[in-house]
Amino acid sequence: MFTVKNQSELTAENEALVVGLFEDDKDNPIVTEIDTALNGAISEMIKEGEIKTAYKNVSKVHTLGNYVVKRVYFVGLGKKEQLTFSKLRDAFGKTAKTLQKDRLVKVAMAFDTFLAEEGHQYDTAQALAEGTDLATYEVVDYKNKSNQVEKKLSEIVVLTESGSEEVELAMQVGTAYAKGTNTARSLVNMPANILTPTELANQAKEIADTYGFEYSVLEKEDMEELGMGAFLAVNQGSVERPKMIVLKYKGKDDWEDVIGLVGKGITYDTGGYSLKPRDGMVGMKTDMGGAATVLGAMEVIGQLRPEKNVLCVIPSTDNMVSGNAFKPDDVITAMSGKTIEVLNTDAEGRLVLADAITYAKQLGADQLVDVATLTGGVLVALGDQVTGAITNNEELYEEVVHASYETGELVWLLPSYDHFKEKIRKSDVADINNSPGRLGHAIFGGLFIGEFVEDTPWVHLDIAGTSTTSAATDLGPKGATGAMVRTLATLVDRLSE
């Protein structure tokens, strides 16, 4: 989508020129050039407020044949000192949506007008590519289509007097981050009758083949042999065969110092015999959001190739009701040997993750991050824009937090006091129970997984609130968000340094 050229190469082939406008910016040579060509009309419109410099205001001006392009889009950026990477990315996202809505195909971008100060070329270029590609993502639907070809924004000519090599490199990074995020979005948006565990395994294999990852999958018979009783219990009521999907990226010669990314892959969750209400069941195709996140992160990793060994493990099944389904009061035995009293079959994600965590450790993971749409309680606690976290290792958690700061994906640490752990370990018939109660259940869900992590450095990320959005944003449509893809990819990059 992006081509870098010298500032002087603006031609009439471009349907529009996009220009950044800071408040109180008296030295913008491109604005002066356009203003002169239009006999002072631009400065007058800025003065009258028809062209706004306030943050994220997009103003369109037709040049009426007086300038090399037919129209100019002025993007308000506010005060230079207040412009962060995330705010700039959002501004580029809103601009891309505006251009797409206006059915433009090829536009030019006056890149240097978006620089808050010298030396910001890399961050600005990454924000441009990332914001544009995220904002123009479209949800795949299954409606009958007309034969009319829709115009879509397909080329942005980046005009700059800055070094083109640094700008191009940064845009490659931004594009990689957006591509991985959009992959996760597409997976989460897919209906459960199409994205079965088998199809999720096929999607993972496609990513592995594209980027040269090692790929393997455990079938039901393999899981039985390994004693994955927690995972298999959740699958009991289903006609779909379970899959334990594994990808390995070797960023180093030796398979050591491995970060394990484990994603919950429940392709549909009825709640089992602890059946969800009708309204609560709608949208449960998204319960494999954790799996989508780690696959999206693997796609970013595959493009950027950090010097870090990465293991991806995804336990995938649906959670259904049948004569064979597991029930409250059942006692099951996990791969680790721990016995679990089932008090709630709708607390199934932690059960599949228990065996996935144990398996990831067996495969050599020295550090672990699990990602899951685990609990409704995290929405009550933190809302729909903050991911909840649990950890047993402050150092690893700090790395996750710093990665989240870089990507603008908010994370908040939930407490893990001993009295929470004691409630998980309270059972008359088993080592632990899977659902001590509703009060604090976002914490219980994470700490249940922690029972299987033991001493391995670990962070749990509950994305039940952040994995989808009910309204469009500057960075995409309503539906799946691809939450934490960029944070995980950034974390791996930080750990490779």
Determine if residue 428 is labeled as part of a ligand binding site.
Answer: no
Task: Check: CB of residue 353 under 8 Å from CB of residue 359.
Answer: no
Given a contact cutoff of 8 angstroms between Cβ atoms, the answer to whether 369 and 403 are in contact is no
**How buried is 202 (Cβ within 10 angstroms: 0-12 exposed, 13-18 middle, 19+ buried)?**
middle
Determine whether the annotation assigns residue 346 to a binding site. Answer: yes
Q: Distance (Å, rounded) from C-alpha 487 to C-alpha 376?
A: 22
Q: Are the beta carbons of 113 and 21 closer than 8 angstroms? A: yes
Residue 264 annotated as lining a ligand binding site: yes
Task: Catalogue the long-range contacts made by 43-49 (C-beta closer than 8 Å, 24 or more residues apart).
Answer: 46/21
Nearest to 453 by CA among 381, 388, 325, 357: 357
Helix H or strand E segment including 19: strand 17-22
| AA identity, residue 469 | T
Helix, strand, or coil (residue 188): helix
Element of type H or E holding 493:
helix 485-495
Q: List CB contacts of 288: < 8 A, sequence separation 6 or more.
A: 187, 188, 195, 200, 263, 264, 265, 266, 267, 316, 373
Burial of 245 (0-12, 13-18, 19+ CB in 10 A): buried
Return d(Cα 467, Cα 308) in angstroms, integer: 26
Pair type for strands 458-462 and 386-391 = antiparallel
Structure tokens at 452: 């299987």
Tokens representing 387 are: 């991911």
CB of 468 closer than 8 Å to CB of 286:
yes
Q: Is 355 annotated as a binding residue?
A: no
Instruction: For residue 313, list its beta bridge partners.
Output: 246, 262
Q: Is 370 annotated as a binding residue?
A: no
Would you tell me how many other CB atoms lie within 10 Å of the CB of residue 385? 13
Exposure of 460 by Cβ count < 10 A (0-12 exposed, 13-18 middle, 19+ buried)? buried
CA distance 375 to 446: 9
> Rounded CA gap, 169 and 267, in Å?
36
**SS3 at position 407:** helix
Active site residues: 276, 350
Question: Annotated binding site: which residue ranges?
Answer: 264, 269, 287, 346, 348
**Residues annotated within a binding site for Mn(2+):** 264, 269, 287, 346, 348
